[in-house]
């Protein structure tokens, strides 16, 4: 069963203090203003309300509403004005809080962006909403006429704005750094504060006192009186620059209070005979806003510059140390020198009392190998960690995680570790483990012995970066030792590898000689048989036609085939198919359409034998080409013969010749079985047929020779195919020039 919700659980306890503070701030603003006007120059409750929201959050909005309603009731306002004023004040503070939260506002006011957000978002936008609501409510209820609407709107808005720029920064500074006012400073600093404060109070009294005003009027310099209010302004600037936020806040507050007090008594540069009271208040409010805004911006700019200088100085020192350690690591293998330089530089940079490096020794022990010590604190150099200490702190040595202890007494330490910290007076510790590939190498440790210490992120990052350099040095030294151990066996291993390499080279030479003998023998035997067959066929060719049992066409075909085979065999035996050796061709001007028609008539018996159909599509106005007739005859015949040889009977062939991009583009298309992508890539290369492709024989010289012929002409050749969808062989040839020539 769930517990019931208390009916007052929604009510925050801070609502009542906020309401009382708002009420008292309003009474104070009315009591200290002697002007006969309903609007105070500095409406203190607005600054109190915004500060309460920034500190305690949105939950105290009810306190602002109640405080304003109570204040207006005490001042004798009607219920309509009470409700409208309470709603407008609450909305003004809530809207300013939301806008600041949206703008990423920081209550420390240490950035220019924070001050700009306070001025623009909370000091201008939010008060404008409250001024509009309050002025309209007063107009509707008859307490304000149209003639005074604009001046009343400006006074309400500027009163809230001046309070946000004066009261809110002062209260936030007390909340965040109230102890800063009572901190002990150097004598020169205190003297500067006294001089600055005395000058500010003295000049403000001179400007806003009755005596000064009467003196100016008696001298008849009324026109110059309006410029006297900025006489204390350089002192406020001095305070903002030298003392940052505290100087800007306190200086602006003092000057604003003195200006309001003098103006309320009817004296000062803002009170002039020809100016009415509303204009006096507006001039005073503008003066307060300008002074406070300028002081806050100056203090934020100086703070940002000092912060940037500190970060830059720290970065330069850290980079210098990293560069020095890295340089020593690269230049030397002396670990002791590297370690000592590292701990000395780290201790001086982070101002620690003790910095040391501990190395993980054989047997699982930790030994301090380098230390830099400040003062008379006991030294750890040369000492070994005891077994009980290693057992009590296993996570420092086995996990690659940085251990940060601002106050060592806040940790639940074992009695062994407590004795260790008391003996060596350790109050704060920063421990960075040294690990390489999961293997512990040691520790990089910084101790604070004087008292507790908060380790900043920059200090932790510096130690982690230097730990990486120390790990490199340790691994480099270990690697050097390993290299020294392996060096004695390296020459023997090199000799063994050299002897094995020489044996492999001799085997390769033997295999190369065997290959040459084999190719020579095979080509000799093939050449002998082909030459005998060729001689027989030529004898038959020279006989009379009546005595031949073969047709003249078949006999010519056999002779041409035998001659081409003899050419291939000669090329193989003479190593003509080297990628570096060019093919010699003799070009002439040819009509490609006439040349292809002659080839088609020559192929008719072969096409009929394979039941194939060949269709040629050649443009009528095709230009002449520059080519070797015999070599191109071999290319066309090889492609057509290949298509008929490796496809079933009855296929359809097509020859297309067009002009593309200044070249003659020829393609041979069939609707056969096609080829795979890998086979297409290897088709025009010099390769041996796969042993698994038993339907195809030979060593692939025909397609390779086609590529050599086309490339020797200055063209390209290729194939596009997919299994089951036929093939398309294509190649390009150059057009003939005005004068035929022989090319290589």
In a domain, 677, yes or no: yes
Question: What mean pLDDT is predicted for residues 387-411?
Answer: 66
Q: Map 464-476 to HEC letters.
A: HHHHHHHHHHHHH
* Weakest-pLDDT range from 173-182, 237-246, 298-307: 173-182
Instruction: Quote the pLDDT of residue 94.
Output: 92
> Is 87 found in the same domain as 69?
yes
> Quick check: 693 pLDDT over 50?
no
Instruction: Quote the pLDDT of residue 573.
Output: 57
> Is 102 found in the same domain as 71?
yes
Question: What mean pLDDT is predicted for residues 419-434?
Answer: 86
CATH number at residue 727: 3.30.565.10
Q: Which residues contact 450 (CB under 8 A, 6 or more apart)?
A: 353, 427
Q: Which residues contact 335 (CB under 8 A, 6 or more apart)?
A: 369, 473, 474, 477
Instruction: Quote the pLDDT of residue 302.
Output: 92
Helices (H), 412-546: 415-423, 457-541
> Is 194 found in the same domain as 164?
no
Task: Report which secondary-structure segment, H or E, holds 553.
Answer: helix 552-573
> Quick check: 169 pLDDT over 90?
yes
> Is 288 found in the same domain as 370?
no
CB atoms within 10 A of CB 19: 22
pLDDT, tens digit, 9 for 90 and up, residues 492-541: 788 888 888 888 888 888 887 777 666 666 666 666 667 666 666 666 66
Least Cα distance to 156 among 306, 5, 278, 301 occurs for 278
Helix (H, G, I), strand (E, B) or coil at 375: coil
> Is 341 found in the same domain as 300?
no
% of the chain at pLDDT higher than 90: 9
Distance CA 741, CA 738 (A): 10
Instruction: Quote the pLDDT of residue 193.
Output: 87
pLDDT, tens digit, 9 for 90 and up, residues 25-55: 888 887 766 555 566 788 889 999 999 999 9
> Which of 440, 472, 504 is at the close of a domain?
472
CATH number at residue 339: 3.30.450.40
Domain residue limits at 348: 330-472
CB 29 within 8 A of CB 40: yes
In a domain, 516, yes or no: no
Q: Which residues contact 652 (CB under 8 A, 6 or more apart)?
A: 612, 613, 615, 670, 671
Most confident of 177-191, 252-266, 485-499: 252-266
Distance CA 255, CA 208 (A): 10
In a domain, 679, yes or no: yes
Angle in degrees, 0-180, between the axes of helices 149-177 and 277-331, rounded to the nearest 10: 40
Distance CA 103, CA 118 (A): 9
In a domain, 681, yes or no: yes
Distance CA 284, CA 265 (A): 13
In a domain, 707, yes or no: yes
> Which of 277, 296, 320 is at the close of a domain?
320
Of residues 379 and 558, which shows the higher confidence score?
379
Helix (H, G, I), strand (E, B) or coil at 718: strand
Instruction: Quote the pLDDT of residue 564.
Output: 65
> Is 126 found in the same domain as 81?
yes
Local confidence band at 224 (pLDDT 50, 70, 90 cut-offs): very low
> Is 172 found in the same domain as 78?
yes
The phi, psi pair for 38, rounded to 5°, reads -75, -15
Find the distance separating the first CA and the last CA of the chain, reported in whole Å: 101
Q: Which residues contact 489 (CB under 8 A, 6 or more apart)?
A: none
In a domain, 325, yes or no: no
> Is 283 found in the same domain as 134?
no
> Which of 296, 320, 344 is at the close of a domain?
320
Pairing outcome for strands 727-734 and 663-670: antiparallel
pLDDT, tens digit, 9 for 90 and up, residues 269-328: 777 664 567 788 888 889 889 999 999 999 999 999 988 888 888 778 777 777 776 676
CB atoms within 10 A of CB 184: 6
Instruction: Quote the pLDDT of residue 526.
Output: 67
pLDDT, tens digit, 9 for 90 and up, residues 573-588: 554 444 445 667 778 8
pLDDT, tens digit, 9 for 90 and up, residues 607-618: 888 888 888 888
> Is 425 found in the same domain as 379?
yes
Number of domains in the chain: 4
> Quick check: 548 pLDDT over 60?
no
Indicate the burial class of 351 (C-beta count within 10 angstroms; 0-12, 13-18, 19 or more).
exposed
pTM above 0.85, yes or no: no
> Quick check: 395 pLDDT over 90?
no
Of residues 133 and 394, which shows the higher confidence score?
133
Distance CA 590, CA 280 (A): 107
In a domain, 561, yes or no: no
Instruction: Quote the pLDDT of residue 51.
Output: 92
Of residues 669 and 619, which shows the higher confidence score?
669
Instruction: Quote the pLDDT of residue 317.
Output: 77
> Is 340 found in the same domain as 449?
yes
Instruction: Quote the pLDDT of residue 585.
Output: 78
Q: Which residues of 472-502 are buried (b: 16+ CB within 10 A; e: fewer)?
A: bbbebbeeeeeeeeeeeeeeeeeeeeeeeee
CATH number at residue 79: 1.10.1760
Task: Report which secondary-structure segment, H or E, holds 577.
Answer: none
CB 710 within 8 A of CB 637: no
CB 727 within 8 A of CB 675: yes
Local confidence band at 249 (pLDDT 50, 70, 90 cut-offs): very high
Name residue 658's beta-bridge partners.
665
> Quick check: 438 pLDDT over 60?
yes
Instruction: Quote the pLDDT of residue 59.
Output: 87
Question: What mean pLDDT is predicted for residues 53-79?
Answer: 86
Distance CA 548, CA 567 (A): 27
Instruction: Quote the pLDDT of residue 171.
Output: 92
* Weakest-pLDDT range from 129-133, 314-318, 400-404, 567-571: 567-571
pLDDT, tens digit, 9 for 90 and up, residues 320-352: 777 776 676 666 667 777 788 888 888 887 888
> Is 203 found in the same domain as 255?
yes
> Is 374 found in the same domain as 313?
no
Local confidence band at 216 (pLDDT 50, 70, 90 cut-offs): very low
Q: Which residues of 436-471 are buried (b: 16+ CB within 10 A; e: fewer)?
A: eeeebbbbbbbbbbeeebebeeebbebbebbbbbbb
In a domain, 149, yes or no: yes
């Amino acid at each position: 069963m769930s517990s019931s919700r208390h009916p007052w659980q929604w009510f925050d306890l801070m609502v009542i203090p906020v309401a009382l503070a708002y009420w008292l701030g309003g009474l104070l603003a009315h009591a200290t203003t002697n002007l006969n006007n309903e609007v105070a120059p500095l409406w203190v409750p607005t600054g109190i309300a915004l500060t309460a929201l920034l500190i305690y959050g949105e939950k105290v909005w009810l306190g602002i509403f109640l405080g304003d309603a109570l204040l207006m009731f005490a001042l004798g306002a009607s219920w309509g004005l009470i409700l409208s004023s309470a709603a407008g004040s609450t909305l003004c503070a809530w809207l300013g809080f939301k806008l600041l939260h949206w703008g990423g506002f920081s209550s420390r006011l240490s950035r220019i962006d924070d001050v700009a957000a306070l001025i623009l978002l909370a000091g201008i936008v939010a008060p404008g909403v409250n001024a509009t609501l309050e002025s309209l409510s007063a107009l509707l209820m008859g307490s304000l006429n149209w003639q005074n609407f604009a001046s009343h709107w400006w006074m309400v808005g500027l009163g809230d704005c001046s309070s946000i720029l004066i009261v809110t920064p002062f209260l936030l500074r007390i909340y965040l750094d109230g102890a800063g006012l009572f901190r002990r400073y150097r004598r020169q600093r205190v003297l500067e504060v006294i001089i600055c404060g005395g000058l500010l109070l003295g000049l403000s009294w001179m400007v806003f006192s009755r005596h000064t005003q009467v003196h100016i009027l008696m001298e008849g310099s009324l026109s110059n009186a309006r410029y006297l209010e900025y006489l204390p302004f350089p002192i406020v600037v001095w305070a903002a620059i030298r003392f940052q936020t505290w100087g800007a806040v306190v200086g602006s507050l003092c000057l604003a209070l003195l200006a309001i007090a003098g103006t309320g008594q009817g004296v000062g540069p803002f009170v002039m005979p020809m100016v009415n009271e509303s204009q006096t208040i507006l001039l005073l409010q503008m003066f307060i806003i300008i002074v406070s805004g300028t002081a806050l911006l100056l203090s934020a700019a100086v703070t940002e510059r000092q912060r940037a200088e500190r970060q830059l100085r720290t970065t330069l020192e850290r980079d210098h140390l990293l560069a020095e350690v890295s340089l020593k690591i690269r230049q030397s293998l002396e670990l002791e020198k590297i370690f000592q330089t590292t701990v000395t530089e780290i201790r001086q940079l982070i101002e620690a009392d003790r910095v040391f490096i501990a190395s993980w020794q054989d047997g699982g022990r930790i030994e301090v190998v380098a230390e830099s010590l400040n003062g008379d604190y006991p030294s750890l150099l040369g000492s070994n960690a005891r077994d009980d200490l290693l057992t009590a702190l296993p996570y420092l040595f086995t996990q690659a995680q940085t251990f940060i202890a601002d106050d060592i007494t806040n940790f639940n330490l074992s009695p062994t570790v407590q004795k260790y910290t008391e003996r060596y007076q350790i109050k704060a510790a920063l421990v960075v483990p040294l690990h390489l590939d999961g293997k512990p190498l040691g520790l990089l440790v910084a101790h604070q012995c004087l008292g507790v210490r908060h380790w900043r992120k920059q200090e932790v990052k510096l130690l982690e970066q230097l730990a990486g350099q120390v790990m490199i040095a340790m691994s480099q030294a270990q690697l050097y030792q390993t290299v020294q151990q392996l060096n004695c066996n390296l020459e023997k291993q090199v000799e063994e590898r050299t002897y094995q390499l020489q044996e492999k080279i001799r085997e390769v030479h033997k295999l190369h000689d065997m290959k040459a003998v084999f190719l020579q023998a095979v080509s000799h035997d093939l050449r002998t048989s082909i030459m005998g067959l060729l001689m027989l066929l030529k004898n038959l060719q020279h006989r009379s036609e009546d005595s031949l049992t073969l047709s003249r066409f078949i006999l010519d075909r056999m002779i041409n085939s035998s001659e081409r085979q003899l050419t291939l065999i000669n090329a193989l035996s003479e190593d003509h198919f080297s990628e570096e050796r060019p093919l010699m061709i003799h070009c002439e001007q040819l009509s490609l359409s006439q040349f292809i028609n002659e080839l088609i008539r020559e192929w008719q018996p072969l096409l009929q034998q394979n039941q194939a159909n060949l269709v040629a599509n050649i443009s009528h106005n095709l230009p002449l080409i520059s080519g070797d007739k015999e070599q191109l005859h071999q290319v066309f015949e090889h492609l057509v013969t290949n298509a008929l040889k490796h496809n079933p009977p009855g296929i359809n062939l097509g020859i297309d010749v067009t002009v593309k991009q200044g070249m003659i583009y020829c393609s041979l298309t069939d609707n056969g079985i096609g080829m795979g992508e890998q086979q297409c890539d290897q088709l025009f290369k010099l390769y041996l047929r796969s042993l698994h492709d038993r339907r195809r024989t030979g060593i692939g010289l025909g397609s390779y020779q086609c590529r050599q012929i086309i490339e020797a002409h200055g063209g390209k050749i290729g194939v596009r195919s997919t299994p089951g969808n036929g093939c398309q062989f294509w190649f390009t040839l150059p057009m003939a020039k005005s004068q035929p020539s022989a090319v290589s």
